[in-house]
Structure 1
Amino acid sequence: MNEAQRHRRLLEYLENHTYISTNDYVEMLDISLSTARRDITKLAEDGKLTKIRNGAEVIHTEESHSQAHAASHFIPSERDIHNYGEKLRIARAAYELCDENDSIVVSGSNTTFLMGEYLAGHNIQVVTNFMPLAYQLIQKNHPSLIVLGGQYLPERHITLSPDTESTDDHSSRFVFFTGTGVSKSGVHTSDLVVYMAEKKLLEYGARLVAMVDSSKIGKPGGKLLACTSQLDTLITDQNADPETLAALEEAGVNIILV
């Protein structure tokens, strides 16, 4: 991966997560610590991010700070979502796997958020820790919604509970989730907080469905969230790396291209 590609991946990550540690960036792209520091320094000098101790964050303007918890920020808009068209098609394909009277677990991401438009109003029980999705479904009078409890983390818009038994009474047909990379080994995430939250959620569905756009296929990084043997289905778009898809399909993963 060349410098321009690394910079693009880093800035795309910050669009959704606002902060990344240097060590997480190293893991995400499998690069050296010196390369990670050099990339962050260069992008900071170019005015594209803010360099902080042991990491980087998005540039906060006075206007963006004042809107941090405004509905337009809390609820993602089309311009907030990178690869919006692809993610919308992925969300629709995920919804089409569901039947009326299903119970599903949905984790937190821009891609899973887009499922809300299709789920709303249908007799499908949605279990989630992602507050923007929950808010969207409440606004649309969704008939069956379970919001998982725990501490609210405003930078991720999710709840995280230290109670390992907090969702033991939930059993769902599907868990819909995403990650920051997909390799032949499975689905990865470079965000430790997301890893902690989603690792629990993955236990409460019979079938794991990863919703990942093509920019992340063939690009491992961070901790392995779900290995290939656990993965039932991967939904991605037509531009996904064919070698990675072929390896996953050979391992028994159902591939849906949109």
Structure 2
Amino acid sequence: MIPAERQRAILALLSNQQVISINELTQQLDVSHMTIRRDIAKLEADGRVMSVSGGVQLTESIHLELPHDDKITQQREEKVKIGLHAAELIRPHSTIYLDAGTTTLEIAHQLTQRADLTIITNDFAIAAYLMANSECVLYHTGGKVDRHNQSCVGEKAANLLREMNIDQAFVSTSSWNLRGISTPSEDKVLVKKAIVAAAQNNYLVTDSSKYGRVATFHAVDISGFDKVITDKFFPQSCIQDFAERGVEVITV
């Protein structure tokens, strides 16, 4: 059986059960562990499956993000820890970007005493918080308003980012895997691509509950990020896969 046939067989088996162990796949397909792991790595790179401890499962497709007010209550403890660690990475006198999201809002909560920073954001909640509680230089991208996520998206927001010299960008997502980040909103792709191109250092900040999800539009390859900052529940078995793509995963 050639690799493409084995990979189709793996997907067919996964369509009938949620998770399959590596051992079961080797028995079903009569090949070695190493062969199965190579097939899984290819499927994972294509965004079709995700590795779990001792096995593999299909990725979860999402077609709509939760509203901002719903997301802010989910994985609260994990987001706070991610925000604390990310804030510690911000260098003095930097220009930084905080992407729209409730995890990046937790970074903003740590920056009230950082008058040395210039902060750019497309998020209305982040901008409002920093206006009221900080002394930083603050820019909002403007652009098309996404009421659902309380942020600005589209070409006009992306254009401002292209004009700025940004030291560090903290990018959020509701869906990510070994291939990269994706989004249900085509307008968000423009902003994600613009910020990753504009910043010297890019950090993906996201909790592990979003790992293994895939949305309609691929936004940024995982190699576009220097580090991923996530929580302690991220599968440790996957960290090496990211390292092989030049991306350090930090779990907090």
Alignment size in residue pairs: 197
Task: Indicate yes or no: 2:218 matched with 1:224.
Answer: yes
Distance in 1 separating the partners of 2:64 and 2:181: 24
Q: What's the CA shift for 1:57?
A: 9.4
2:76 corresponds to: 84
Q: Say which one has the larger Rg.
A: 2
- The residue identity in structure 1 corresponding to 2:246 is G
Q: What's the CA shift for 1:126?
A: 0.7
Cα deviation per residue 1:59-80 (whole Å; 9 max; x = unaligned)?
xxxxxxxxxxxxxx98x59x94
Task: Indicate yes or no: 2:125 matched with 1:139.
Answer: no
Q: What's the CA shift for 1:212?
A: 1.1
Equivalent in 57, 60, 70 of residue 29 of structure 1: 60
Q: Secondary structure at the match of 2:215?
A: coil
Distance in 2 separating the partners of 1:30 and 1:176: 24
Alpha carbons of structure 1 residues 214 and 158: separation in structure 2 relative to 1, 3 Å: same
Q: What's the CA shift for 1:223?
A: 2.5
**TM-score, scaled relative to structure 1:** 0.67
1:100 corresponds to: 92
Distance in 2 separating the partners of 1:223 and 1:167: 20
1:182 touches 1:216 (CA, 8 Å); kept in 2?
yes
Q: What's the CA shift for 1:91?
A: 0.8
Distance in 2 separating the partners of 1:180 and 1:57: 7
Distance in 2 separating the partners of 1:131 and 1:168: 20
Distance in 2 separating the partners of 1:202 and 1:57: 21
1:183 touches 1:244 (CA, 8 Å); kept in 2?
no
Cα deviation per residue 1:100-152 (whole Å; 9 max; x = unaligned)?
20111111011011111111230221111111000000001332111112233
- Aligned identity (percent) is 20
Alpha carbons of structure 1 residues 165 and 192: separation in structure 2 relative to 1, 3 Å: closer
Trace 1:144-183 onto structure 2 (pairs within 5 A): 144-163=137-156, 165-183=159-177
2:80 touches 2:106 (CA, 8 Å); kept in 1?
yes
- The residue identity in structure 2 corresponding to 1:246 is Q
Distance in 2 separating the partners of 1:57 and 1:95: 25
Trace 1:42-53 onto structure 2 (pairs within 5 A): none
Alpha carbons of structure 1 residues 196 and 188: separation in structure 2 relative to 1, 3 Å: same
Distance in 2 separating the partners of 1:140 and 1:126: 13
Query: Considering only aligned residues, what root-mean-square deviation do their CA atoms show, in Å?
Result: 3.0
Distance in 1 separating the partners of 2:76 and 2:195: 25
Q: What's the CA shift for 1:213?
A: 0.6
1:127 touches 1:145 (CA, 8 Å); kept in 2?
yes
Unaligned stretches of 5+ in structure 1? 6-27, 32-54, 59-72
Cα deviation per residue 1:151-178 (whole Å; 9 max; x = unaligned)?
3332221123534633332111111112
Alpha carbons of structure 1 residues 56 and 126: separation in structure 2 relative to 1, 3 Å: closer
Distance in 2 separating the partners of 1:236 and 1:134: 23
Alpha carbons of structure 1 residues 217 and 148: separation in structure 2 relative to 1, 3 Å: same
2:154 touches 2:188 (CA, 8 Å); kept in 1?
no
Equivalent in 225, 239, 245 of residue 245 of structure 1: 239
Q: Secondary structure at the match of 1:105?
A: strand
- The residue identity in structure 1 corresponding to 2:73 is I
1:217 touches 1:241 (CA, 8 Å); kept in 2?
no
Distance in 1 separating the partners of 2:144 and 2:61: 31
Distance in 1 separating the partners of 2:170 and 2:199: 9
Deviates more, 1:95-104 or 1:192-201: 192-201
2:65 touches 2:174 (CA, 8 Å); kept in 1?
no
Deviates more, 1:194-203 or 1:222-231: 194-203
